[in-house]
Amino acid sequence: MAKMEVKTSLLDNMIGVGDMVLLEPLDEDSFINNLKKRYDHNEVYTYIGSVVISINPYRSLPIYTPEKVEEYRNRNFYELSPHIFALSDEAYRSLRDQDKDQCILITGESGAGKTEASKLVMSYVAAVCGKGAEVNQVKEQLLQSNPVLEAFGNAKTVRNDNSSRFGKYMDIEFDFKGDPLGGVISNYLLEKSRVVKQPRGERNFHIFYQILSGASEDFLCKLKLERDFSRYNYLGLDSAKVNGVDDAANFRTVRNAMQIVGFMDHETQSVFEVVAAVLKLGNIEFKPESRVNGLDESKIKDKNELKEICELTGIDQSVLERAFSFRTVEAKQEKVSTTLNVAQAYYARDALAKNLYSRLFSWLVTRINESIKAQTKVRKKVMGVLDIYGFEIFEDNSFEQFIINYCNEKLQQIFIELTLKEEQEEYIREGIEWTHIEYFNNAIICDLIENNQTGILAMLDEECLRPGTVTDDTFLEKLNQVCATHQHFESRMSKCSRFLNDTSLPHSCFRIQHYAGKVMYQVEGFVDKNNDLLYRDLSQAMWKASHSLIKALFPEGNPAKINLKRPPTAGSQFKASVATLMKNLQTKNPNYIRCIKPNDKKAPHIFNDALVCHQIRYLGLLENVRVRRAGYAFRQAYEPCLERYKMLCKQTWPHWRGPARAGVEVLFNELEIPEEEFSFGRSKIFIRNPRTLFKLEDLRKQRLEDLATLIEKIYRGWKCRTRFLLMKKSQIVIASWYRRYAQQKKYQKIKSSAIIVQSYIRGWKARKLLRELKHQKRCNEAATIIAAYWHGTQARRELKRLKEEARRKHAVAVIWAYWLGLKVRREYRKFFRANAGRKIYEFTLQRLMQKYFLEMKNKMPSLSPIDKNWPARPYLFLDSTHKELKRIFHLWRCKKYRDQFTDQQKLIYEEKLEASELFKDKKALYPASVGQPFQGAYLEISKNPKYKKLKDAVDEKIIIAEVVNKINRANGKATSRIFLLTKNNVLLADQKSGNIKSEVPLGDVTKVSMSSQNDGFFAVHLKEGSGAAGKGDFLLSSDHLIEMATKLYRTTLSQTKQKLNIEISDEFLVQFRQDKVCVKFIQGSQKNGNIPTCKRKNNRLLEVAVP
């Protein structure tokens, strides 16, 4: 409970009023001002009892972090400040712990944040439920279904950049532990008319823009699409780009989400092919043409678009073209075929596009349900999340707005009924007397629309089924006859409008006074949109498609299952869906999120009072507050109530030992609160007036201040006493330590004095002994010195005698040596004078050479073969020696460097050397290839399971395996092929399937041609008359041209012992079957950057533009 005291309820630190039930005074102005005050302080959530009001902040707020999820996890609903997580946690815990199925109803107008609210609810439930591999997979699939449905079902409108144009109801299924098992999604009324036409300032569905922005060029080519939005009539250009929306990134997100949900690759491809077909249908245009019988018919202007659609869908072009031009009507056993004029043809085209996209969307929902449905058959608990259109009032309101607002009327009806039911059940459960509450019941409006005999939908269906001429005006006339007296229906001809002064109501309109306000509807298009007819010829044409998905979308096109019964109208289908939804919601415990849009600019920090006031009125929020306050404005369980207010009574403070209810009774009696202001339920206290609650809060605030003062006083006394005792204890410790210190100093002084006396006595004794020893030593040293002097005198006399004798002997030897030298010099003087110059020259050269080599030893360069340094020549006569020595040293260090190579490296350098001899200074691409190693096996065929079939088909060792582009002689376009070079053959294989397309023996390859420019194009010329030359030469393009040509040259030389001719020219001939085509290389700027492109100029010329 101490933890609850810190964050005990939304009453603490409250900005404005967190629960509108406690608002005083309660009126429209105070309601709006309270919302505005909280919105200005980033408080976007407010309660009305258990209902959450959510205001769209139009920016990211730091209130949805994992820390916030943990903060609201397993907390009481009113324990923390209002938040959507609190409602989500309450619903989840009720489902998990009390075994009650839940539904969360999210309502509000377009742009109010309903879709984001549903995402937050799902993400919170996913975060707090169980963990595990299977559970995490289910959670991820449930969450990733949102991006897929948003891409195909959402669009930018003038009010919302991500507006849901369909209604979505998701049932999330849980097991007994509260772990998700799966889910089921229901969709309601996709706005398919948006496919063919969008209002100004709005976009088509997101998926069209995402494909064109995010798909690769290759993928767009397969779908036969171009990236330019302006090429498609179904895409409005004024709002093609949306600020802050990255369609390319969203496309990658959608593809990843489809993979996570469980879509197979071929299913994803099929879906995008259908989307592309819908997009291209808008480009089909018709022209009038008169027949002989005088009837007008239509013809397609440009059949190229029709051809591409048929290629995408697998439909016979003639079948689809006839379906756009003729209509077959069957009546019993008769068939009548009529021509379609231009207007009818355009109607048929748009009807097909709308039906194709609508059925694709329904198929997507069904496919997602197959992936996310629960796999077990155990009993499940269900939590439903309803994200459906908000109430819509536009300048021009048509059939779509009519049924959307009808759905909102039904939701408002069930909201009032379930809210009153919840209030009544709580009062009965707590034993509180229930009083009847007056409120506006919109059942009369629902009956005006859905009554089976006199309802507007019934009149519309009756008019659609009536034989004869049926128009929107006849439908309006019928409404004027049947609904003229209804108080919520108005038109120019109705009785309720006779006394109106509003002349702005046109003749072709009618007005309904909804619970949210009056809405004027244009009857134009009501009959056609309710019929929603698709000509049977188009259905049968779609069923004949070889495209499996399109064929499955049109089962009624099967001639064997022709049903002449008219299909149900759109209005009756929607009415049945809404009835099923209402029945489903009534079986679950409801939780409400009411979303409000603060402004029309989709900008943060702007609060438009008039706009918010309008939404408050049509959402009925004030009525909701009055319903909650009609009995008691505030209710709370006894335990938290006693814990919050127990300090106001001496008997309950600080601890109450009895039951919580008894403590609350004692507390309220002590405070003398009037008995009519509260009632005691079985588990809760009910307070009638908010003023009573605020009085309790004021008393609590004052009491907390008094308690804080008391705690502060006690703390200060305790702190002073503690400080005094600490100082007293410290004084005793200091005194004891000082006495110890003084005694130690006295002892040290006495000890040092004794040591000094001892040292003086010991010094006197030592000096006395030293004097005695010195006297004895001097006597001994005197005798020794006298003896030494005598011995020295004797030794010097003997040494002098020996030296004199040695000098005489040395003088004799020196004289003899000089005499011998003189004789030798006289003998050889004549020889020395003859050879002295040569000897000196040879000696000098020897010394210079010795000096040169010693200096070279210290100045030798590094052992790197690329090091060009060499010591300077010191003498001119050593020039040839210096150069030869430099050459020998370079050869030696090159040999040392080569000795380090492995056999593989030697082979690579041999190939590099061969490439240098073939292409250096000849091909502009060669310098870029020098630093690139020759790898050969770029595809790793042996490791990649995709190429297992190709690996099994090739028995020889593969020298090079690379993806090349094979140039088509017809149009110059490139096709990807796998280029394989073995010891005996050159092979070309399909990149996708791995099937070998061509196999050429090396002996049949006569020449390879290429340009001198910086491109990768090359031609492989085959021997005329050989088996492989039937289709002609190969014109290929590769990113590793130098390596491929070098390996082909070496392999051919190794196997055939003949050099392969490498021709480098900017213009050469290529043999294609029986024709010779000139391939010419030119310089030019490219749209694709630095990528060379090939273009067919005529039957004899292919032109390659090189940047």
Which residues are the active-site residues? 110-111, 115, 160, 163-164, 390, 392
Residue 968 has phi, psi (to 5 degrees) of -85, 125
Separation in Å, CA 655 to CA 577, 651, 659, 697: 57, 8, 11, 20
Q: Residue-wise over 315-335: b if at least 16 C-beta within 10 A, else e?
A: beeeebbebbbbbeeeeeeee
At residue 549, φ and ψ (nearest 5 deg) are: -65, -45
Angle between helices 206-214 and 265-281 (to 10 degrees): 110
- φ and ψ at 834, to 5 degrees? -75, -35
- Measured in Å, how far apart are the chain's first and last C-alpha atoms? 77
User: Is residue 937 within 8 Å of 1069, Cβ to Cβ?
Assistant: no
CA distance 628 to 664: 23
800-817: buried (b, 16+ CB within 10 Å) or exposed (e) per residue?
eeeeeeeeeeeeeeeeee
Residues 6+ apart with CB under 8 A from 22: 633, 634, 690, 693, 694
Burial of 914 (0-12, 13-18, 19+ CB in 10 A): middle
Burial of 559 (0-12, 13-18, 19+ CB in 10 A): exposed
Q: Which residue has the tokens 């006396």?
A: 757
Q: How far apart are CA 458 and CA 571, in angstroms?
A: 9
SS3 assignment for 228-283:
CHHHCCCCCCCCCCCCCCCHHHHHHHHHHHHHHHCCCHHHHHHHHHHHHHHHHHCC
DSSP readout, 472-489? HHHHHHHHHHHSTT-TTE
Q: How far apart are CA 523 and CA 508, in angstroms?
A: 6
Query: Identity (one letter) of the amino acid at 332?
Result: K
**CA 1039/CA 1026 separation, integer angstroms:** 29
Full 3-state SS string of 308-366: HHHHHHCCCHHHHHHHHHEEEEEECCEEEEEECCHHHHHHHHHHHHHHHHHHHHHHHHH
- φ/ψ (deg, to 5) at 1069: -100, 145
Contact 633/21 with Cβ under 8 angstroms?
yes
Asked if 1013 contacts 1021 with a C-beta cutoff of 8 angstroms, the reply is no
Residue 821 structure tokens: 């030298």
Length of the chain: 1107
- Residue 972 CA to residue 1093 CA, distance in Å, equals 8
- CB-based contact 886:867 (threshold 8 Å): no
Omega within 30 of 0 (cis) for the link into 654: yes
* 3-class state of residue 1081 by DSSP: strand
Three-state DSSP class for residue 1082? strand
Pair of tokens at residue 320: 């689809």
The encoded tokens of residue 266 equal 């071929």
Q: What is d(CA 697, CA 394) in angstroms, rounded to the nearest whole number? A: 46
Listed in order, strand segments (DSSP E) in 891-1027 are: 958-967, 974-982, 985-990, 996-1001, 1005-1010, 1017-1022
